[in-house]
Amino acid sequence: MDVFKIPIGIFQVNKILKEFKPDVVFSKGGYVSLPTVIAAHFLGIPIITHESDVVPGLANKIAMRYAKIICISFEETKNHLKPRQLGKAVLTGNPVRESIFNGNIEEGYKFTGMNDFRPIILCMGGSQGAMQINKLIRESLPELLKKFQVVHIAGRGNIDIGVHADGYKQYEYLDENLKDVYAISGLVISRGGANSLAEIALLKKKAVIIPLSLNASRGDQVDNTRIFVRKFGWSMLSGAVNKSDFINAINMTYYNQTNINGNEIENGTKKIVDLIIKM
């Protein structure tokens, strides 16, 4: 039914844009952005669009037709653009919140109750959590806790009150304290969202990534993850991952001597803001 809402949205946004009179429209994609992009085009307002993933989604494919500048997070995205769009493409990287770079190790230990005797794994699956990752962590805890401590962000409503162990702490969600937990973590387990991957890489963390499968998404997380795995020596697990494969991937990745060079990718925040200002 969303398709039928778009014409109504264009009419509504047209009215708002005429009243607000913006100098530029910045779009991050998603079907809700389309009415704004289309209305802005008809009103002659310049449009900048940003694609977080390697392969553009449908909404951004449409928005790119009208955009004056196309910001991309990956050089490889150019392979998925039409020839006439390449001249508008600017490699900016993904915008990443500055706060995560200000983590305090002492505060991280204090908040979690962890110590520096064993390395710390940060496990997260997004604000809603990830059932596959939650299940793997809990099944693997007895083995993992022999070598590591685990901070587990399980998602809202996903705390298991029956799981208690020394060196294991679970949270529904972390906001302000996440930067401090990042600071004490030696390895991160995560889904393959472009923003999460950029944060982990810029913080120079080792990682095991379990992207959403093709059955649960359009495959964007798999495409994103493959690029980061190739650049940084991370591990990617996909499909029906079992406990043994999970533990092996953690051990192999953590004890891999590869140094993560966060300079290989860019924090796109400043570049994108500069482009908007110049418009």
How does pLDDT run across 23-42, given as a tens digit for each residue?
999 999 888 899 999 999 99
- Tell how many helices (H) and how many strands (E) occur in the chain: 11, 10
Please report which confidence band the pLDDT of residue 212 belongs to, taking 50, 70 and 90 as the band edges: confident
What is the predicted pLDDT for the residue at 266? 78
Q: Of the given ranges (58-72, 77-91, 135-149, 203-217), which has the lowest mean pLDDT? A: 203-217
Which runs of consecutive H residues, i.e. helices, occur in the chain? 2-20, 34-42, 58-66, 83-86, 105-112, 131-144, 178-184, 194-202, 220-232, 243-255, 269-278
C-alpha torsion 13→15→18→22, nearest 10: -20
The residue with greater pLDDT, 240 or 168, is: 168
User: Measured between alpha carbons, how far is 109 from 169 in angstroms, rounded to an integer?
Assistant: 12
What is the predicted pLDDT for the residue at 256? 83
User: Measured between alpha carbons, how far is 252 from 47 in angstroms, rounded to an integer?
Assistant: 45
User: Measured between alpha carbons, how far is 170 from 189 in angstroms, rounded to an integer?
Assistant: 14
Kindly report, as residue ranges, where domains of CATH 3.40.50.2000 are found in the chain.
Answer: 2-91, 98-264
Whether the predicted pLDDT of 215 surpasses 80: no
Which positions ≥6 away from 59 have C-beta within 8 Å? Answer: 29, 30, 31, 33, 34
CATH 3.60.21.10 fits 98-264, yes or no: no
Question: What is the bridge-based pairing of β-strands 120-124 and 168-171?
Answer: unpaired
Contact 206, 256 (CB under 8 A): yes
CATH code at 2-91:
3.40.50.2000
Please report which confidence band the pLDDT of residue 130 belongs to, taking 50, 70 and 90 as the band edges: confident
To the question of pTM greater than 0.85 for the whole model, the response is yes
Tens digits of residue pLDDT in 194-211: 999 999 999 999 999 999
Whether the predicted pLDDT of 146 surpasses 90: yes
Averaged pLDDT score across all residues of the chain? 91
Rg (CA), the chain: 21
Tens digits of residue pLDDT in 158-174: 888 888 899 999 999 99
What is the predicted pLDDT for the residue at 94? 93
Question: Could you give the angle at the alpha carbon of 241 between the alpha carbons of 166 and 205, nearest 5°?
Answer: 60
